[in-house]
Structure 1
Amino acid sequence: MTLEGKSVAVLIAPRGTEEPEFSKPKQAIEEAGGKVTVVSFEAGVARTVNSDLDEGDSYTIDKTFSDVKADDFDGLVVPGGTVGADKLRGSAEAIDFIRAFFDQKKPVAAICHAPWTLIEAGVLKGRTLTSYPTLKVDIENAGATWTDEEVVVDNGLVTSRDPDDLPAFCAKLVEQIAEGAGAGPAAAN
């Protein structure tokens, strides 16, 4: 699958986003020929984490939430990390940005704790997805069905449980973005 000509936003929350859940999808998109824009709260450099506690690598933030809109992209990746997902779901700008991808029926990929942001955005009702197991009740309370699978695709929404699932997660997110906006998730109101 090629992502030539496709632009994908990958979110990062400084000192909170899980390193492999950020770097592996970014790498998969770039290797498929897509353009990645790293989006965060403020300009500069953000450091990821490993296992929520240990310092990861540093990445340049390309744009802030106030600089971008979903119209600019063909897809969105929301990496996990307990702290990172919590920081993102606490930001109205981040949640509005995420929700706009659903409103525009564009592919969204969320791994591990990232579905917390989808709960906050109010876009899970009637969907089937997976996540880190401790989010099961949160997801069910949001009106979705939780399943314990390596990767789940529900109308353009790609979800996985944890870093062990990254190969399947990356393959499916590239596939969904390559298929285009028609494959994207429908907004659930």
Structure 2
Amino acid sequence: MARFYSLRKKDEDEAKTADPFGVLRPKVKNAEQQQVNIYDMAKAYVFLADGFEDIEALAPVDILRRGGIDVKTVSINATDMVASAHGVQVKADMMFADADFSDADLLMLPGGMPGAKNLDEHEGVRAALVRHAEQQKLIGAICAAPMVLGHLGLLRGKRATCYPGFETELEGATYTAEPCTADGNIITGKGPGASFAYAYRLLEEFKGASVVEELKKGMMYEF
């Protein structure tokens, strides 16, 4: 379900006063469009460590940006350059030390090895995830990266998926083996092939199913 809130009556009255004939107001087509999306300016951060899986990091960045989410890539290295698991050099948008992530609506962890292990061993990343989870904000992790959440106890009592072989790292979770699993504020993906399904599911939390379906059509996603 998209995270929406309804337009307050006071705002409706003010809108009618400013535009009494409805000329300037958009024509709504369905109930979902009649709601004001409080996440129009949603902020997301993707943590990048050396050895991250290319598609698991960059496909969600692409899809979320297309969907209107403000996404920043964050290097946890000593520099802003991060090497992917397949040797692609990526210049991150920012360094980990340059943000406290208090404005984040979504934190994302790509998989890949040793990328996921490097994230798991980064105390700053771990602390940011715990603070984020305490506020019941959205967290996404895919492939090997759900193990980071498992080690922090953030998956206890939840359903989750991950790359086969990492199930034992999902402490307290029920392993689903699904391509993508959403449970509360946690969304997990199984592996590289699930990157699109995972990214679309994350976007749906903020923009709703109809926006996601339109984006799929525009991207020729016909599966």
TM-score in terms of structure 2 length = 0.71
Tell me the distance in 2 between the aligned counterparts of 1:78 and 1:29: 14
Query: C-alpha offsets along residues 110-168 of structure 1, whole Å, 9 cap, x if unaligned?
Result: 100011211232211111100001111221xx111111111100002111111111221
The answer on whether the counterparts of 2:141 and 2:188 sit within 8 Å (CA) in structure 1 is yes
Matches within 5 A, 1:25-174: 25-41=60-76, 42-49=78-85, 54-56=86-88, 58-139=89-170, 142-174=171-203
CA RMSD of aligned residues (A): 1.8
Query: C-alpha offsets along residues 32-79 of structure 1, whole Å, 9 cap, x if unaligned?
Result: 111111112234221212xxxx312x3222333332223121111110
| Pairs aligned (count) | 171
User: How many Å apart are 1:13 and its aligned residue?
Assistant: 0.3
The answer on whether the counterparts of 2:150 and 2:172 sit within 8 Å (CA) in structure 1 is no
- Output the amino acid matched with 1:18: E
Q: Secondary structure at the match of 2:111?
A: coil
Unpaired runs of 5+ residues, structure 2, are 3-36, 209-223
User: Which deviates more from structure 2 when the two are superposed, residues 72-81 or residues 59-68?
Assistant: 59-68
Q: Percent identity?
A: 27
2:41 corresponds to:
5
Question: Structure 1 segments of 4 or more deviating over 3 A?
Answer: 1-4
Tell me the distance in 1 between the aligned counterparts of 2:40 and 2:84: 27
The answer on whether the counterparts of 1:26 and 1:36 sit within 8 Å (CA) in structure 2 is yes
Unpaired runs of 5+ residues, structure 1, are 180-189
Structure 1 residues 120, 69: closer, same or farther in 2, change over 3 A? farther
- Output the amino acid matched with 2:194: D
TM-score in terms of structure 1 length = 0.84
The answer on whether the counterparts of 2:133 and 2:154 sit within 8 Å (CA) in structure 1 is yes
